[in-house]
Homo-oligomer: A and B are copies of this chain.
Amino acid sequence: MSTISYKDKKVISIGVVSELTGLSERQIRYYEERQLIHPDRTKGRTRMYSFSDVELLVEIANKIEDGLQTYEIRKINESQKEQKTISKEKLREEIRGQLNVRFGLMNRNESKFK
């Protein structure tokens, strides 16, 4: 659990993100202002993005092209995040169920939510 892959490591600065996405730096910073994206910062305050962020930005760009407004996109993204959490929890339950069937286990060490 919680193994952080390369995809989620925030190691890319804004110039490269701009090239990868085709968005201007102005746009990328603006989407942050509208809370669609959340880069890390270095000590020097340089924004750092992950490949996941790049993917997200491309999705954002598509939605903008479709005429959506930033606050709508934020809502969508937030509800998707919820969705993901839920389905992860469901997956966990499923797995737990299967383990119980196979080994007849009760939940031991780990508390139900973590």
Contact = CB atoms under 8 A, between A and B. Distances in A.
A6 B9 CA distance: 11
Contact of A20 (B11, B16, B20): B11
Interface residues of A, number: 12
Interface of A: 6-7, 9, 11-13, 15-16, 20, 42, 48, 51
A8 to B, nearest CB: 10
Oligomer: number of copies:
2
B11 A16 contact: yes
A7 B7 CA distance: 8
Contacts of A48: 16
A16 B12 CA distance: 9
A48 to B, nearest CB: 7
A13 B12 CA distance: 8
Contacts of A42: 15
Contacts of A12: 11-12
A92 B6 CA distance: 28
A94 B28 CA distance: 47
